[in-house]
Amino acid sequence: MTDNSPYLTLPGAVDGAGPDAGVPAHYGNPIGEQRALAAGTAIVDLSNRAVLSISGDDRLSWIDSITSQSVKGLQPGESSETLLLDPTGRVEYAVRLVDDGTDLWMLLERDEAPGLLEFLLKMRFMLRVDPQDRTEEFATIGTLGAPALPVVAPNGVPLIWHDPWTTVTPGGWQYSLSPQHPGAGWTYSEVLVTRGTLVDLPVAGTLALEALRIEAWRPRFATEADEKTIPHELDWLRSAVHLEKGCYRGQETVAKVHNLGHPPRRLVMLHLDGSDAVLPARGDVVVLDGVEVGLVTSSARHHELGPIALAVIKRSTDPTAELAVRVDDLLVAAGQEVVVPPSAGASADIPRLPRLGAVTRKS
């Protein structure tokens, strides 16, 4: 277990909760911090996140063979994102990747690290790979700009992960039908620094980062995913799945749902009524005409949009319907902005065969 973050000693720092416990949620002015973060001038302490590394000549081909993204050709300094799925295609781990020519670095949520490391150690067989937990050495800093940070470069290449969410990655697929995807403006990156470093730059808390992430429709494993999640439901094929690569665990489900079926649930962004000054929390129920249709996964107060949230709802839910979120005994009105449409999937161009016994017309 790492020591407490030095950023919690700064004036006004308030510890976060849930997956963001251990780093500041805010420093007394969440909205002002959010504006600075959006402008690219502030940084976010994410030192409660985990860092793994894999050394060895087989590291890229190995990870390529067991996860959803094509990374065997990843060049030093390039960033990627991949998912480790279970045999039925459900998401078990979501990992941010950057290679430095010697080691492959894996950035992920703290709670994911022990299980993922154990799995990787079991899957080495005779390959030239050496997975290690490096969390005690390195801490993660988030930013939407390019501030001067003391980036570590243990093998000569600065360890900076640039989020690929800004566009559809090669081999990926976007289900969103929005002509102007909000992810295009998501200039987010994560930088590794020596653990315990306190950088003298403007700071923002995780509340600010969450608000901007929700605005960008960017899924996060710790919040949007549960034990039933498949990548299609969160539009994660956009950045973390290569549909044309070889076989990997869960690939059959990925291909079948994308080509022939539909994901059972879909991600939406909710614009919440703020008149009661009530912000729904993760796990609050989303309803349509009094019937439960899904759950809130993330929520925040945005500096321009007001209260917003991400939610995962049933695919069949009318995309034009006005929804509501149940918070204790109160119903908070929620207008939905479609991220994954009900039509997502069934993308294969397969000709229809005539029904058995049907008479075909001769020309």
> Residue 49: which CATH number?
3.30.1360.120
Are residue 251 and residue 274 in the same domain, yes or no?
Answer: no
Q: Where are the beta strands (DSSP E) in 220-305?
A: 265-272, 285-288, 291-302
pLDDT score recorded for residue 24: 98
Helix (H) or strand (E) holding 114: helix 113-122
Distance (Å, whole) CA 357 – CA 343: 30
| Cβ neighbour number for residue 5 with a 10 Å cutoff | 22
Residue 358's pLDDT is 45
Query: Which of residues 255, 278, 305 is at a domain's end?
Result: 255
Residue 360 lies in a domain: no
Domain residue limits at 233: 6-255
Q: Does the residue 355 lie in any domain?
A: no
Is 357 within the bounds of a domain? no
Q: Are residues 216 and 96 in the same domain?
A: yes
Task: Say what the pLDDT of residue 349 is.
Answer: 58
Q: What CA–CA distances, in Å, run from 335 to 21, 182, 237, 270?
A: 30, 17, 25, 6
Domain count, the chain: 2
DSSP state of 183: G
Asked whether residue 157 is assigned to any structural domain, the reply reads: yes
CATH number at residue 285: 2.40.30.110
pLDDT for res 125? 87
Instruction: Give the containing element (helix H, strand E) for 33.
Output: helix 30-38
Contact in structure between 51 and 107 (CB atoms under 8 Å): yes
Is residue 99 a contact partner of residue 60, using CB atoms and an 8 Å limit?
yes
Contact (CB, 8 A) for 134 and 51: yes
Picking from 273, 281, 344, 275, the residue whose alpha carbon sits closest to that of residue 315 is 344
Last-in-domain residue among 255, 285, 316: 255
* Structural domain ending residue among the three candidates 255, 278, 303: 255
Q: Which among 96, 112, 159 has a CA at the least distance from the CA of 120?
A: 112
Q: Are residues 85 and 146 in the same domain?
A: yes
Residues 42 and 124 in one domain: yes
Residue 357's pLDDT is what? 47
DSSP state of 179: S
If asked whether residues 197 and 119 sit together in one domain, one would say yes
pLDDT computed for residue 353 by the predictor: 46
- The three-class DSSP label of residue 231 is helix
Domain identity same for 194 and 68: yes
Tell me, yes or no, whether 27 and 49 share the same domain.
yes
Q: How many whole angstroms separate alpha carbon 343 and alpha carbon 168? A: 19
Tell me what pLDDT residue 246 has.
86
In terms of C-beta density within 10 A (0-12 exposed, 13-18 middle, 19 or more buried), how is residue 9 classed? Answer: exposed
- Is the same domain home to 334 and 195? no
Q: Where are the alpha helices (DSSP H) in 201-294?
A: 206-215, 221-224, 251-259
Q: Each residue of 169-223: pLDDT tens digit?
A: 999 999 999 999 999 999 999 999 999 999 999 999 999 999 999 999 999 999 9
Helix (H) or strand (E) holding 31: helix 30-38
Kindly state whether residues 137 and 283 are assigned to the same domain.
Answer: no
Identify the bridge partners of residue 138 per DSSP, sorted by sequence position: 194
Residue 220 forms part of a structural domain? yes
pLDDT of res. 130: 97
Both 250 and 270 in one domain: the answer is no
Q: Which regions in the chain score pLDDT beneath 70?
A: 1-3, 349-363
The answer to the question of residue 126 being in a domain is yes
Same domain, 84 and 221: yes
Is residue 271 situated within a structural domain? yes
Task: Give me the phi and psi of 199, to 5 degrees please.
Answer: -85, 135
